[in-house]
Structure 1
Protein backbone atom coordinates (compact mmCIF):
# COMPACT_ATOMS: atom_id res chain seq x y z
CA UNK A 1 0.00 0.00 0.00
CA UNK A 2 1.36 3.37 -0.99
CA UNK A 3 1.58 5.93 1.81
CA UNK A 4 0.94 9.51 0.86
CA UNK A 5 -0.19 12.72 2.51
CA UNK A 6 -2.63 14.95 0.70
CA UNK A 7 -1.73 18.59 0.91
CA UNK A 8 -4.58 20.69 2.19
CA UNK A 9 -4.57 24.28 1.09
CA UNK A 10 -5.67 26.67 3.78
CA UNK A 11 -8.94 28.50 3.13
CA UNK A 12 -7.34 31.77 4.29
CA UNK A 13 -6.06 33.06 0.98
CA UNK A 14 -3.82 32.36 -1.94
CA UNK A 15 -0.49 31.43 -0.32
CA UNK A 16 1.31 32.89 -3.31
CA UNK A 17 -0.31 36.26 -2.60
CA UNK A 18 0.60 38.99 -0.18
CA UNK A 19 -0.54 40.57 3.08
CA UNK A 20 -3.44 42.25 1.23
CA UNK A 21 -4.82 38.79 0.36
CA UNK A 22 -4.71 37.70 4.00
CA UNK A 23 -6.35 40.95 5.09
CA UNK A 24 -9.16 40.45 2.56
CA UNK A 25 -9.63 36.88 3.82
CA UNK A 26 -9.67 38.11 7.45
CA UNK A 27 -12.44 40.66 6.82
CA UNK A 28 -14.38 38.17 4.68
CA UNK A 29 -14.21 35.63 7.51
CA UNK A 30 -15.43 38.27 9.99
CA UNK A 31 -18.39 39.16 7.77
CA UNK A 32 -19.36 35.50 7.34
CA UNK A 33 -18.69 34.35 10.90
CA UNK A 34 -16.27 31.71 9.60
CA UNK A 35 -13.97 30.91 12.54
CA UNK A 36 -11.85 28.37 10.64
CA UNK A 37 -11.17 30.74 7.76
CA UNK A 38 -10.46 33.56 10.22
CA UNK A 39 -7.99 31.49 12.24
CA UNK A 40 -6.25 30.32 9.05
CA UNK A 41 -5.23 33.97 8.56
CA UNK A 42 -3.19 33.93 11.77
CA UNK A 43 0.44 32.86 12.04
CA UNK A 44 1.34 29.69 13.91
CA UNK A 45 3.30 31.54 16.60
CA UNK A 46 2.93 31.53 20.39
CA UNK A 47 3.08 35.32 20.72
CA UNK A 48 0.39 36.39 18.23
CA UNK A 49 -2.00 38.83 19.85
CA UNK A 50 -5.34 40.53 19.39
CA UNK A 51 -6.83 43.54 21.15
CA UNK A 52 -10.53 44.09 20.55
CA UNK A 53 -11.98 47.59 21.09
CA UNK A 54 -11.67 48.41 24.79
CA UNK A 55 -10.57 44.86 25.60
CA UNK A 56 -7.49 43.20 27.06
CA UNK A 57 -4.52 41.90 25.12
CA UNK A 58 -5.37 38.33 24.08
CA UNK A 59 -2.29 36.19 23.42
CA UNK A 60 -2.06 32.93 21.50
CA UNK A 61 -4.22 31.20 18.93
CA UNK A 62 -6.46 29.35 21.41
CA UNK A 63 -7.34 32.53 23.31
CA UNK A 64 -7.82 34.54 20.10
CA UNK A 65 -10.09 31.85 18.68
CA UNK A 66 -12.21 31.89 21.86
CA UNK A 67 -12.78 35.66 21.61
CA UNK A 68 -13.90 35.46 17.99
CA UNK A 69 -16.09 32.41 18.69
CA UNK A 70 -17.83 34.45 21.40
CA UNK A 71 -18.38 37.32 18.96
CA UNK A 72 -19.72 35.00 16.29
CA UNK A 73 -22.03 33.27 18.78
CA UNK A 74 -23.95 36.51 19.42
CA UNK A 75 -24.79 37.36 15.84
CA UNK A 76 -23.01 34.91 13.62
CA UNK A 77 -20.74 37.54 12.06
CA UNK A 78 -19.05 40.89 12.53
CA UNK A 79 -20.18 43.38 9.93
CA UNK A 80 -16.87 45.25 9.43
CA UNK A 81 -15.37 46.63 6.24
CA UNK A 82 -11.99 48.24 5.69
CA UNK A 83 -12.71 51.73 4.35
CA UNK A 84 -9.29 53.38 4.23
CA UNK A 85 -5.87 51.79 4.43
CA UNK A 86 -2.38 53.08 5.10
CA UNK A 87 0.41 50.53 5.00
CA UNK A 88 4.12 50.11 5.34
CA UNK A 89 5.55 46.96 3.77
CA UNK A 90 9.04 45.52 3.83
CA UNK A 91 10.33 42.20 2.55
CA UNK A 92 9.02 40.14 5.49
CA UNK A 93 6.45 42.32 7.26
CA UNK A 94 3.55 44.60 6.49
CA UNK A 95 1.80 46.97 8.90
CA UNK A 96 -1.72 48.02 7.89
CA UNK A 97 -3.57 50.83 9.62
CA UNK A 98 -7.22 50.46 8.66
CA UNK A 99 -10.25 52.66 9.19
CA UNK A 100 -13.01 50.10 9.65
CA UNK A 101 -16.70 50.80 9.13
CA UNK A 102 -18.64 48.54 11.47
CA UNK A 103 -22.39 48.04 11.36
CA UNK A 104 -23.88 47.99 14.86
CA UNK A 105 -27.44 47.40 15.98
CA UNK A 106 -28.91 50.23 18.06
CA UNK A 107 -32.38 50.92 19.43
CA UNK A 108 -32.98 53.03 16.30
CA UNK A 109 -31.81 50.25 13.98
CA UNK A 110 -28.55 49.64 12.16
CA UNK A 111 -25.92 52.38 12.41
CA UNK A 112 -22.29 52.76 11.37
CA UNK A 113 -19.44 52.98 13.84
CA UNK A 114 -15.83 53.70 12.99
CA UNK A 115 -12.85 51.84 14.40
CA UNK A 116 -9.12 52.32 13.81
CA UNK A 117 -7.36 48.97 13.56
CA UNK A 118 -3.73 48.06 13.10
CA UNK A 119 -3.02 44.69 11.49
CA UNK A 120 0.54 43.37 11.40
CA UNK A 121 1.49 40.64 8.93
CA UNK A 122 4.70 38.60 8.66
CA UNK A 123 5.86 36.43 5.82
CA UNK A 124 6.10 32.92 7.29
CA UNK A 125 6.90 29.50 5.89
CA UNK A 126 3.13 29.19 5.22
CA UNK A 127 3.00 32.55 3.42
CA UNK A 128 1.82 35.90 4.76
CA UNK A 129 0.02 35.60 8.08
CA UNK A 130 -1.49 37.92 10.68
CA UNK A 131 0.55 38.26 13.89
CA UNK A 132 -1.26 41.19 15.56
CA UNK A 133 -4.67 42.88 15.37
CA UNK A 134 -5.32 45.92 17.56
CA UNK A 135 -8.64 47.76 17.25
CA UNK A 136 -9.51 51.02 18.98
CA UNK A 137 -12.83 51.69 20.70
CA UNK A 138 -15.37 52.75 18.10
CA UNK A 139 -17.04 56.08 17.53
CA UNK A 140 -20.24 57.01 15.70
CA UNK A 141 -18.57 59.85 13.80
CA UNK A 142 -16.09 59.11 11.05
CA UNK A 143 -12.53 59.39 12.27
CA UNK A 144 -10.52 62.17 10.71
CA UNK A 145 -7.00 61.70 9.49
CA UNK A 146 -4.32 64.21 10.44
CA UNK A 147 -1.32 64.28 8.17
CA UNK A 148 1.69 66.50 7.66
CA UNK A 149 1.14 66.39 3.92
CA UNK A 150 0.03 69.77 2.55
CA UNK A 151 -3.67 69.99 1.75
CA UNK A 152 -3.17 72.66 -0.92
CA UNK A 153 -0.54 72.52 -3.63
CA UNK A 154 1.23 75.80 -4.33
Structure 2
Protein backbone atom coordinates (compact mmCIF):
# COMPACT_ATOMS: atom_id res chain seq x y z
CA UNK A 1 0.00 0.00 0.00
CA UNK A 2 1.40 3.39 -0.94
CA UNK A 3 1.62 6.32 1.44
CA UNK A 4 -1.20 8.87 1.20
CA UNK A 5 -0.23 11.91 -0.87
CA UNK A 6 -3.04 14.44 -0.67
CA UNK A 7 -4.26 16.24 2.45
CA UNK A 8 -7.61 14.46 2.17
CA UNK A 9 -5.89 11.05 2.00
CA UNK A 10 -3.67 11.94 4.97
CA UNK A 11 -6.66 13.05 7.04
CA UNK A 12 -8.56 9.88 6.09
CA UNK A 13 -5.55 7.83 7.23
CA UNK A 14 -5.35 9.73 10.54
CA UNK A 15 -9.08 9.25 11.10
CA UNK A 16 -8.80 5.52 10.38
CA UNK A 17 -5.77 5.23 12.71
CA UNK A 18 -7.83 6.80 15.52
CA UNK A 19 -10.60 4.21 15.26
CA UNK A 20 -8.17 1.31 14.78
CA UNK A 21 -6.20 2.29 17.90
CA UNK A 22 -9.45 2.38 19.87
CA UNK A 23 -10.47 -1.04 18.52
CA UNK A 24 -7.10 -2.53 19.52
CA UNK A 25 -7.18 -0.87 22.94
CA UNK A 26 -3.81 0.72 22.11
CA UNK A 27 -3.80 3.68 24.49
CA UNK A 28 -0.29 4.85 23.58
CA UNK A 29 -1.14 4.97 19.88
CA UNK A 30 -4.45 6.69 20.57
CA UNK A 31 -2.72 9.30 22.75
CA UNK A 32 -0.16 9.99 20.01
CA UNK A 33 -2.99 10.87 17.61
CA UNK A 34 -4.27 13.76 19.78
CA UNK A 35 -2.90 17.28 19.47
CA UNK A 36 -0.30 18.37 22.05
CA UNK A 37 0.91 21.89 22.88
CA UNK A 38 4.30 20.91 21.42
CA UNK A 39 2.54 20.14 18.12
CA UNK A 40 1.57 23.82 18.04
CA UNK A 41 5.09 25.00 18.87
CA UNK A 42 4.17 25.92 22.45
CA UNK A 43 6.89 25.51 25.09
CA UNK A 44 5.07 23.76 27.93
CA UNK A 45 7.62 24.93 30.50
CA UNK A 46 6.46 28.52 29.99
CA UNK A 47 2.81 28.05 29.04
CA UNK A 48 0.03 26.11 30.70
CA UNK A 49 -0.62 23.19 28.32
CA UNK A 50 -4.32 23.36 29.22
CA UNK A 51 -4.53 26.81 27.60
CA UNK A 52 -2.73 25.87 24.38
CA UNK A 53 -4.62 24.21 21.55
CA UNK A 54 -7.18 22.82 23.95
CA UNK A 55 -8.54 19.52 22.73
CA UNK A 56 -12.12 18.51 23.40
CA UNK A 57 -14.26 15.43 23.23
CA UNK A 58 -17.93 14.57 23.60
CA UNK A 59 -18.78 10.89 23.95
CA UNK A 60 -22.46 9.96 23.48
CA UNK A 61 -24.28 10.87 26.68
CA UNK A 62 -21.24 12.51 28.31
CA UNK A 63 -20.60 16.18 29.05
CA UNK A 64 -17.95 18.08 27.11
CA UNK A 65 -14.44 17.04 28.13
CA UNK A 66 -11.71 19.65 27.64
CA UNK A 67 -7.96 19.41 27.90
CA UNK A 68 -5.69 16.62 26.77
CA UNK A 69 -5.52 14.96 30.19
CA UNK A 70 -9.28 14.81 30.67
CA UNK A 71 -9.87 13.56 27.12
CA UNK A 72 -7.22 10.83 27.36
CA UNK A 73 -8.50 9.73 30.79
CA UNK A 74 -11.91 9.20 29.21
CA UNK A 75 -10.42 6.89 26.58
CA UNK A 76 -8.46 4.98 29.22
CA UNK A 77 -11.72 4.49 31.13
CA UNK A 78 -13.56 3.32 28.00
CA UNK A 79 -10.76 0.90 27.11
CA UNK A 80 -10.61 -0.49 30.64
CA UNK A 81 -14.34 -1.21 30.65
CA UNK A 82 -14.87 -2.49 27.11
CA UNK A 83 -13.76 -6.00 26.22
CA UNK A 84 -14.58 -5.65 22.53
CA UNK A 85 -15.33 -2.73 20.25
CA UNK A 86 -15.43 -2.48 16.48
CA UNK A 87 -16.27 0.50 14.30
CA UNK A 88 -17.78 0.25 10.83
CA UNK A 89 -17.55 3.77 9.45
CA UNK A 90 -20.01 4.90 6.80
CA UNK A 91 -20.89 8.25 5.21
CA UNK A 92 -17.30 9.47 5.71
CA UNK A 93 -16.77 13.00 4.39
CA UNK A 94 -13.47 14.90 4.63
CA UNK A 95 -13.03 18.63 4.16
CA UNK A 96 -9.63 20.35 4.40
CA UNK A 97 -9.09 24.10 4.64
CA UNK A 98 -5.52 25.21 5.29
CA UNK A 99 -4.22 23.47 8.40
CA UNK A 100 -7.64 22.34 9.65
CA UNK A 101 -9.66 19.33 8.54
CA UNK A 102 -13.18 18.24 9.32
CA UNK A 103 -14.32 14.63 9.12
CA UNK A 104 -17.95 13.66 9.52
CA UNK A 105 -19.02 10.04 9.61
CA UNK A 106 -21.46 7.53 10.96
CA UNK A 107 -19.99 5.13 13.50
CA UNK A 108 -21.72 1.77 13.37
CA UNK A 109 -20.40 0.40 16.66
CA UNK A 110 -20.40 -3.20 17.80
CA UNK A 111 -19.25 -3.66 21.39
CA UNK A 112 -19.33 -6.13 24.23
CA UNK A 113 -18.67 -5.98 27.90
CA UNK A 114 -17.41 -8.52 30.38
CA UNK A 115 -18.80 -12.04 30.13
CA UNK A 116 -21.32 -13.32 32.64
CA UNK A 117 -19.63 -14.91 35.66
CA UNK A 118 -17.89 -18.16 34.80
CA UNK A 119 -18.32 -17.75 31.04
CA UNK A 120 -15.19 -17.51 28.89
CA UNK A 121 -16.94 -15.65 26.06
CA UNK A 122 -17.84 -11.98 25.82
CA UNK A 123 -21.11 -10.78 27.19
CA UNK A 124 -23.81 -9.95 24.66
CA UNK A 125 -22.68 -7.75 21.81
CA UNK A 126 -24.53 -4.47 21.47
CA UNK A 127 -24.84 -2.38 18.33
CA UNK A 128 -25.04 1.40 18.40
CA UNK A 129 -25.40 4.01 15.67
CA UNK A 130 -23.52 7.25 16.30
CA UNK A 131 -22.74 10.28 14.15
CA UNK A 132 -19.34 11.84 14.72
CA UNK A 133 -17.42 14.95 13.83
CA UNK A 134 -13.63 14.79 14.10
CA UNK A 135 -11.56 17.95 13.74
CA UNK A 136 -7.87 17.62 12.88
CA UNK A 137 -4.99 20.12 12.85
CA UNK A 138 -1.92 19.82 10.64
CA UNK A 139 1.29 19.49 12.67
CA UNK A 140 4.91 18.81 11.70
CA UNK A 141 4.23 15.19 12.74
CA UNK A 142 1.09 14.91 10.57
CA UNK A 143 -2.63 15.42 11.16
CA UNK A 144 -3.69 15.22 14.82
CA UNK A 145 -7.09 15.17 16.47
CA UNK A 146 -8.21 18.47 17.94
CA UNK A 147 -11.81 17.55 18.73
CA UNK A 148 -14.09 14.52 18.60
CA UNK A 149 -17.84 14.91 19.03
CA UNK A 150 -20.13 11.89 18.86
CA UNK A 151 -23.89 11.79 19.27
CA UNK A 152 -26.25 8.81 19.22
CA UNK A 153 -28.73 8.46 16.40
CA UNK A 154 -32.18 7.76 17.76
CA UNK A 155 -33.89 4.79 16.17
CA UNK A 156 -36.83 5.67 14.00
CA UNK A 157 -40.02 3.67 14.22
CA UNK A 158 -43.48 3.83 12.67
CA UNK A 159 -44.85 5.79 15.64
CA UNK A 160 -42.46 8.66 14.81
CA UNK A 161 -44.17 9.27 11.47
CA UNK A 162 -47.03 11.74 11.49
CA UNK A 163 -50.32 10.60 9.98
CA UNK A 164 -51.71 13.48 7.93
CA UNK A 165 -54.97 11.76 7.02
CA UNK A 166 -58.09 13.28 8.61
CA UNK A 167 -60.08 11.06 10.92
State yes or no: 1:123 paired with 2:123: no
Alignment partner, residue 39 of structure 1: 31
Q: Distance in 2 between matches of 1:54 and 1:18?
A: 30
Structure 1 24/30 Cα, relative in aligned 2: closer, same or farther at 3 Å? same
Q: Give the alignment's TM-score, normalised by structure 2.
A: 0.67
> C-alpha displacement at 1:117, in angstroms?
0.3
Structure 1 28/140 Cα, relative in aligned 2: closer, same or farther at 3 Å? farther
The 5 A counterparts of 1:56-95 are 56-95=63-102
> C-alpha displacement at 1:62, in angstroms?
1.0
The 5 A counterparts of 1:5-154 are 18-45=10-37, 46=52, 47-105=54-112, 109-139=124-154
Rg comparison, structure with higher value: 2
Which stretch of the first structure deviates more once superposed, 90-99 or 132-141? 132-141
Q: Distance in 2 between matches of 1:27 and 1:140?
A: 23
3-state DSSP of counterpart to 2:91: strand
Q: Structure 1 or 2: larger helix share?
A: 2
Gap runs ≥5 in structure 2:
38-51, 114-122, 157-167
3-state DSSP of counterpart to 2:81: helix
Alignment partner, residue 8 of structure 1: none
Q: Distance in 2 between matches of 1:56 and 1:18?
A: 30
Root mean square deviation, CA, Å: 2.6
Q: Distance in 2 between matches of 1:130 and 1:22?
A: 8
Q: Distance in 1 between matches of 2:83 and 2:136?
A: 26
Q: Distance in 1 between matches of 2:12 and 2:64?
A: 24
